[in-house]
Amino acid sequence: MFTQQLSFAERPLDQLRPSSGRSYPRSRTPDTSKASRMALKKIALVISELLDTEFAYLDSLREITEVGCPL
């Protein structure tokens, strides 16, 4: 059975175009990058709070099983 070999362009990644064919600017304006950093900080805060909640839940389950409390 014949399989076709794929060839890849040997250009640096920063020269390749996105799969949609659109070209994006290389640098962002300071306002955009600041907004991006703020959005990432908010996402990190939410993830941190979710993890804290999950750990507290798991600790409470562990305490219930150690005490042997019937459900």
> Would 17 be classed as within a structural domain?
no
Taken as a whole, the chain contains a residue count of 71
Supply the pTM of this predicted model: 0.48
> Does pLDDT of 1 surpass 50?
no
> Would 6 be classed as within a structural domain?
no
> What's the average model confidence in pLDDT over 32-38?
87
Structural domains in the chain (count):
1
Residue with the bigger pLDDT between 69 and 40: it is: 40
> Would 61 be classed as within a structural domain?
yes
Q: Which residue segment(s) compose the domain that 43 sits in? A: 31-66
In the chain, % of residues over pLDDT 70: 52
Contact 24, 18 (CB under 8 A): yes
Residue with the bigger pLDDT between 71 and 67: it is: 67
